[in-house]
Structure 1
Amino acid sequence: MDAVKERVISKSNHIKAKVKARTTSLESWVLPKQTSSFAPLGTWVNIDNDVTPLERQTWGGWSLVGYWMSDILSTQSWAGASAIISIGLTYREALVCLILGTSIIAIPLVLNGMVGARLHVPYAIASRSSFGYWFSRVPVVIRMVTALFWHSIQTYSGATAMTQVIRSIWPSYLLIPNNLPASAGITTQQMVSHLIFWLVQFPILLIPPHKLKSFFLFKAVFVTLAAVAMVIGLCVKAGGSGDIWDQQPRYTGSERSWLILYFMSSLTGSWATMATNVADYTRYMKSDRKVYLQALLMPGISTFIGVMGIIATSASRVVYGEYIWDPVQLTSRFDGPGGRAAAFFCGAAWCVAQIGVNVSANVISCANDMTSLCPKYINIRRGAIITTIIGAWVMVPWKIVSSAASLINFMSALAVFLAPIAALLATDYWVVSGRRIDVPALYRPMGRYRYWKGTNFRAVVALVVSLGPNMPGLIRNVDSSVYIGAAEKIYNFNYLWGFMSAAVVYAGLSWVFPVPEARVSREEMRAWEEERFAASLEGVDGERRGSDRSVEVEKVKVEEK
């Protein structure tokens, strides 16, 4: 008994000492340094922004299918095509926008996805070859801020689905008196839903990316079943699929054409974040050949969920007397014993859908970015915790949703920044570098990707040229009273302009002003691949020893220069 008591006291004292250290000393938060890293002494990295170890390269083709179903199956994707119809286009035109828009974004998804699958490095590290070792932090910060914002919005959106789950069990939940002031921007009941959803979501956010395969597959099956069940149930009640198929376009001529182009570009831009940092996920692939599946998965899954949304929206008018685009609002109309059971099932599915989007599109991305910026103190686990605390609470998402339309418009327009970033990553790997990247040099401040003081001016110029014509449209997107004239036409296809212009300018400048020391010869690449293959036969430790040898060779080269 005394021995047990001593162990309890010892454990308690250890916890107290650890808590005291964490609250009084920054050094207590320092992560173990990766002694097996490609980085030279003095440059801090940790396992989460190092090259993905062999034992973590666990994703296959089905993992990628589950991942994209997890990412695409959401309330936003459900309502996307239906929202286009509500503006005044027909379902045919909405589907054209959806299919073309997602097919276009599939191109950079494959191009940049291959970077992660072949190099096995995260987006923040891969961007150093095109932007330069230090300037690469700029696109990393842009992506990080975007991820924080959307995590905030998606979490609050998930809370509305959680409300439907709870009220399906306790209908009186909707009658909880509000004890919060109007200035809070949220009611007591909404705050409770937000807290419960966040608590359910939190442990899932802490799962390491290479272990998320099962969750992605679970979400894919669960949400698909719920979506199909909602559509079938509404069609049975409506006695058909409604009259949305007979809707005539409200616009004709060039106005109609520009609207189609605008919505197509908007749907392309809505996936701009993933096209930029898809390497954060494909780095876990066992084979790079499976990356090409994205060319089919993106338009295929998007079209499926979009069609489900259109059919349900059409049937909702027959059943409820109005078009209801939002699946959570549809769920809120399910009443009675059978209706409440359906509300529980569908509400839970949309909760899982929003959690999946947060995991796959926002939290892992933001955590990876934080890891690259502060590798000494932040790994993916800590980054996920920081991301969800800031996004779900510090940013006050209910305030953003209820009163900051201009901010939402601005953040939605960040595709104008992400398009050229994705273009530079793809162009550098496939065109300028000829798919030959010196991976160890990506981790060295004084390596071949230092360029001029850590900045590649070719990327900077391409970024500026791409952004310039889109800036008036971005301003008008925030303040609709601003007149920008013909510049609005360019903004209507902002992602296409941003991507193509940046790619052409960067490739052109790299051809006119080449950087020979930043290019890897075929002989060097072949030698490095042979060394890596030989090291892989020895196991992970052998691979790292081979990598350390290449680091030492490169250090000698730098010193000689």
Structure 2
Amino acid sequence: MSGLRLRTLKEKIQLQGDGNEHEQVDSWSNRDLIPLPPSRRTWGWFHYFGYWTLNSLNISNWQTPNTFLSYGLSVGQSMMVIVVGKLLVTFFSTLIAWCGLRWHIGFTVQNRFTWGLRGSYIPLMQRVLLNFIWCAIQCWNGGRLVAVCITAIWPSFAKMHNTLPSSMPTTTYQFIAFVLFWIFSVPFLFVRPEKFRLPFLVTSIYCGLGMLSMMIWSLSVAKGVGPLWTTGQHIPETSSWNLHWLEMKGINQIIGGIAAGITNGSDFSRYARAPKHYVLGTVLSAWVTGVLVSLVGLVVTAACQKIYGEVYWNPPDLLMRMMDSGEGSSKARAGVFFLAAGFALTGMFENVCGNAVAGGIDLAGLFPRYLDIRRGAILTFVAVWVCQPWQLVNKAATFVSVLSSFSVFLSPIMGVMVVDFYLLRKGRIQLSHLYRTRDTAYWYHKGVNWRAIPAWICGWAPTIGGLVVTVGGTSSPPRSLVKLYYMAFLVGFFVSGTVFLLLNLAFPCTGLGEYEKVDVYETFTPREAANLEVVTASEPQVLDGVESDPVDNKMESGTVVEKSL
């Protein structure tokens, strides 16, 4: 009886797909994993501008100059590091995302032709873990902004009696604000990625205007900027590192800080109406807006230094100071409320898009029969409570530092992806082979491409030692280890890519450079089909001068025609 109930429950919660739209649901496929048809590719340049703006109009990007000034770099040198770092972010983002632009598949499926269908779980599990933890941390940081908003309305909120036990490293008002941020974020989970234009539009305009307003106000009140703006290079003579190594460290931090978003770039690039939309939106926002936000943060902090006599890099702290912790005038509190609301709204949707939705896509790859993007995003958000971010942020500073340095493991994954797609396969893959275990070039040995595993390990092995000694606070760490860690992203990327290339040259795979002449999923527009020289599954084909019958477009037929360009 219990077995029958279990089967009935499984049938009820199993996803359903439209067979006419090739939305078969099985162990490898569902509606959100198949190549996106043209009808679902709705993102134009502004969608990508908004997507990357979410990564730019945030607190961490605002505070970026502070990190480099603390190293001893001058203001000019810090901004130069930011410009170069953001340019490299734009380059690597486009490089990784091109597979999604051409073949309209996401990171989850993209790794199947590189790692093997089962082997793809290795990078996928890393992404799932990161999504869970970062989503939790972002919810907690967003709660701080909600606390500012509430304090602006009811000043007594920040002074309420703490009723939480001493074992919880937080206060009642902080925890309430965190809960409210989590609740306010939930409705965004039900918005499909195809419909993200309006949230992108609202958050970009609101937060962008808020940041500009802060800069105009601070410069007007201060009538200039404080000493921070003219900070020169002051690397201590006792420092073990010269200028160039500190600049390299900064560039590596900028790329590494967004490595998780770069790795799964194809999850969102596949929604593009055309590649030009992705490139234009990414350049304008990931590079231009990203640099401008850091500059605005620097200007505002320098001006407020002149106003308050202290340096406030953290916007929630600065906003609290601007309204004197709620004791300021009603005008000050009203202004702070709208500014904090802008930061909070942007952080809310950034978390949903960059962590929850991305986590939903990754979880859909692990459990295609039962999880789609929406269910996976909800599960990622529920996992916030399991992660207990109040413990991570307020106590485990070392853990957060390790999490920020996770690019040590992600950049080797990217190196393998790039070499496989561009150099070995020449940008050609067999789409239908990514969704079955029989008669496929991507099953390798028991579903795992063994070549990818040692290549990935070789990428992070040289830099993991530097991560350990740096995060652990070793007083006199070996310089060679730390130097490798300062170049962790580039070292991991190129070492893993090179090893993977050599292994494939020594032990070549079958099917490299081949693609399907038949558009089984009806994925491509007429122009794309013409450029790729493919026909839809319902069209007759002419092979060696003989017209053949239309190809059955159901996956069960397994009928494919391959051609090497």
TM-score by structure 2 length?
0.88
Residue 291 (str. 1) matches residue 286 (str. 2): no
C-alpha displacement of 1:506: 1.8
SS in 2 for 1:89: coil
The aligned counterpart of 1:517 is 511
Q: Out of 132, 150, 155, which is 2:134 matched to? A: 150
Per-residue CA distance 1:281-306 (angstroms, 9 max, x = gap):
11111112223222453221110100
Per-residue CA distance 1:1-58 (angstroms, 9 max, x = gap):
xxxxxxxxxxxxxxxxxxxx89994443221155357698964522111222322110
Q: For 1:468-487, what aligned pairs fall within 5 Å after superposition? A: 468-481=461-474, 483-487=477-481
Aligned length: 531
Distance 1:40 1:189, change over 3 A: closer
The aligned counterpart of 1:333 is 321
SS in 2 for 1:517: coil
Residue 354 (str. 1) matches residue 347 (str. 2): yes
Instruction: Provide the rounded CA distance (Å) in 2 between the counterparts of 1:242 and 1:193.
Output: 33
> Aligned partner of 2:307: which letter?
V
Instruction: Provide the rounded CA distance (Å) in 1 between the counterparts of 2:172 and 2:229.
Output: 41
The aligned counterpart of 2:288 is 300
Is contact 2:22–2:521 with CA below 8 Å preserved after alignment?
Answer: no
The aligned counterpart of 1:14 is none
Instruction: Provide the rounded CA distance (Å) in 1 between the counterparts of 2:559 and 2:496.
Output: 33
> Aligned partner of 2:150: which letter?
I
Instruction: Provide the rounded CA distance (Å) in 2 between the counterparts of 1:530 and 1:378.
Output: 23
The aligned counterpart of 1:322 is 310
C-alpha displacement of 1:315: 1.1
Residue 450 (str. 1) matches residue 443 (str. 2): yes
Q: For 1:340-489, what aligned pairs fall within 5 Å after superposition? A: 340-391=333-384, 393-446=385-438, 447-481=440-474, 483-489=477-483
Is contact 2:185–2:349 with CA below 8 Å preserved after alignment?
Answer: no
Is contact 1:39–1:440 with CA below 8 Å preserved after alignment?
Answer: no
The aligned counterpart of 2:545 is none
Instruction: Provide the rounded CA distance (Å) in 2 between the counterparts of 1:41 and 1:243.
Output: 62
Instruction: Provide the rounded CA distance (Å) in 2 between the counterparts of 1:394 and 1:114.
Output: 35
Per-residue CA distance 1:523-547 (angstroms, 9 max, x = gap):
x44887999557999xxxx967678
In structure 2, list runs of 5 or more residues that go unmatched.
324-328, 530-534, 540-550
Q: For 1:32-111, what aligned pairs fall within 5 Å after superposition? A: 32-33=16-17, 35=19, 43-111=27-95
SS in 2 for 1:333: helix
Q: Out of 300, 323, 328, which is 1:312 matched to? A: 300
C-alpha displacement of 1:241: 2.0
Per-residue CA distance 1:214-258 (angstroms, 9 max, x = gap):
101111111110001011111111110222232122217952221
Instruction: Provide the rounded CA distance (Å) in 1 between the counterparts of 2:6 and 2:319.
Output: 45
Residue 134 (str. 1) matches residue 111 (str. 2): no
Distance 1:444 1:130, change over 3 A: same
Instruction: Provide the rounded CA distance (Å) in 2 between the counterparts of 1:58 and 1:353.
Output: 22
Is contact 2:50–2:285 with CA below 8 Å preserved after alignment?
Answer: no
> Aligned partner of 1:239: which letter?
K
Distance 1:67 1:118, change over 3 A: same
> Aligned partner of 2:272: which letter?
M
Residue 165 (str. 1) matches residue 149 (str. 2): yes
Structure with more helix by fraction: 1
> Aligned partner of 1:549: which letter?
N
Instruction: Provide the rounded CA distance (Å) in 2 between the counterparts of 1:445 and 1:206.
Output: 32
Distance 1:533 1:23, change over 3 A: closer
Instruction: Provide the rounded CA distance (Å) in 2 between the counterparts of 1:374 and 1:83.
Output: 40
The aligned counterpart of 1:282 is 269
314-323 vs 41-50, greater mean Cα deviation: 41-50
SS in 1 for 2:167: helix
Instruction: Provide the rounded CA distance (Å) in 2 between the counterparts of 1:340 and 1:231.
Output: 17
The aligned counterpart of 2:13 is 29
Is contact 1:36–1:544 with CA below 8 Å preserved after alignment?
Answer: no
> Aligned partner of 1:504: which letter?
T
Is contact 1:108–1:426 with CA below 8 Å preserved after alignment?
Answer: no
525-534 vs 432-441, greater mean Cα deviation: 525-534
The aligned counterpart of 1:178 is 162
Per-residue CA distance 1:304-336 (angstroms, 9 max, x = gap):
100011101111211111111111111111222
C-alpha displacement of 1:550: 7.6
Residue 120 (str. 1) matches residue 104 (str. 2): yes
Instruction: Provide the rounded CA distance (Å) in 1 between the counterparts of 2:285 and 2:145.
Output: 26
Instruction: Provide the rounded CA distance (Å) in 1 between the counterparts of 2:415 and 2:447.
Output: 20
Instruction: Provide the rounded CA distance (Å) in 2 between the counterparts of 1:36 and 1:515.
Output: 34
Instruction: Say what the alpha-carbon RMSD is for the aligned residues.
Output: 2.7
Distance 1:368 1:545, change over 3 A: farther
C-alpha displacement of 1:171: 1.1
> Aligned partner of 1:161: which letter?
L
SS in 2 for 1:251: coil
Instruction: Provide the rounded CA distance (Å) in 1 between the counterparts of 2:523 and 2:346.
Output: 43
Instruction: Provide the rounded CA distance (Å) in 2 between the counterparts of 1:191 and 1:531.
Output: 47
Instruction: Provide the rounded CA distance (Å) in 1 between the counterparts of 2:355 and 2:482.
Output: 30
SS in 1 for 2:352: helix
Instruction: Provide the rounded CA distance (Å) in 1 between the counterparts of 2:192 and 2:160.
Output: 37
Is contact 1:371–1:380 with CA below 8 Å preserved after alignment?
Answer: yes
Distance 1:39 1:211, change over 3 A: closer
147-156 vs 453-462, greater mean Cα deviation: 453-462
Instruction: Provide the rounded CA distance (Å) in 2 between the counterparts of 1:136 and 1:187.
Output: 42
SS in 2 for 1:135: coil
> Aligned partner of 2:374: which letter?
R
The aligned counterpart of 2:326 is none
C-alpha displacement of 1:404: 0.6
The aligned counterpart of 2:242 is 255
Instruction: Provide the rounded CA distance (Å) in 2 between the counterparts of 1:57 and 1:422.
Output: 24
Per-residue CA distance 1:160-198 (angstroms, 9 max, x = gap):
000111111111111221111121222111111111111
C-alpha displacement of 1:362: 0.9
305-314 vs 63-72, greater mean Cα deviation: 63-72
Is contact 1:34–1:45 with CA below 8 Å preserved after alignment?
Answer: no
C-alpha displacement of 1:512: 3.0
SS in 2 for 1:184: coil
> Aligned partner of 2:496: which letter?
A
> Aligned partner of 1:514: which letter?
P
Per-residue CA distance 1:57-104 (angstroms, 9 max, x = gap):
101112111211123211111111223213321111111111111211
Is contact 1:334–1:342 with CA below 8 Å preserved after alignment?
Answer: no
Instruction: Provide the rounded CA distance (Å) in 2 between the counterparts of 1:268 and 1:237.
Output: 35
Per-residue CA distance 1:438-494 (angstroms, 9 max, x = gap):
111111123111122211122112111111101101222442238444111111110
Distance 1:43 1:34, change over 3 A: farther
Per-residue CA distance 1:478-520 (angstroms, 9 max, x = gap):
4223844411111111001111112222223223322133440
Residue 208 (str. 1) matches residue 192 (str. 2): yes
SS in 2 for 1:516: coil
Instruction: Provide the rounded CA distance (Å) in 1 between the counterparts of 2:286 and 2:405.
Output: 21
Is contact 1:178–1:188 with CA below 8 Å preserved after alignment?
Answer: yes
Distance 1:40 1:220, change over 3 A: closer
> Aligned partner of 2:414: which letter?
A
321-330 vs 548-557, greater mean Cα deviation: 548-557
